[in-house]
Structure 1
């Protein structure tokens, strides 16, 4: 299957909303309302910093097949920027057909052409398919970091301190 990947634009808000809803279900989150997801997608694609697009979308057969959500951090330890891959998601009907690999290749090409030295990412410990996929691409498990999160009440408490 031919897969086309591009940075999402405001015209892609509906496609982004659709895939965000499917992604929430896959990651065992509460069902997202499509209208709410569409409003968020429109906001993110119009009001966020244009310096670095945040979403790459893969399309196959005219339909959205996958999503990569990224952020660029300045600088890395070696004074090179890094790309943090927050989420890579491929719709169930498009899995194992090249959409994930096409998204990663697109991101890697962007990194190489913009002086970004690496892509860092995480995956859930239960997601065997994702771990196999990243290992096949040559990603190495980096055991020096522990993933932590500030959210909810802890986030509110820290903000007040």
Structure 2
């Protein structure tokens, strides 16, 4: 398998989209999925803005490990191109907040300045740092994948 092709597709997916599905869990392990507008800094750091009262933010406070999926929701069924990521998320503070807002506000379509995302403002800035990237193996079919022995869709690690 040419992972270079998969990696190029993965970068194009992240570059070509602006919403990610952020998967979090509460203290009981109950899952929560949230679509959030993101700005990526490269392919391993994602920034977004949320209310500190949002369910995903409360979940991150107790379980910072998150799952992320970026995909084109307009693609045709069967295309199944997406980037799946494992990450650690946090609210930004101090110099991390300054840097995060510089990146986010430089690319996001918001008319608000950085003061809107600092206390006592209604929103805060968050960052997810990716630890692993995955994409679906292109060899899955009705016959076993020659590399992984599976016929069903399955993910393979990629380096973006």
TM-score, length-scaled by structure 1: 0.24
- 1 or 2, which has the higher strand percentage? 2
Bigger relative contact order (CA 8 A; separation at least 6): 2
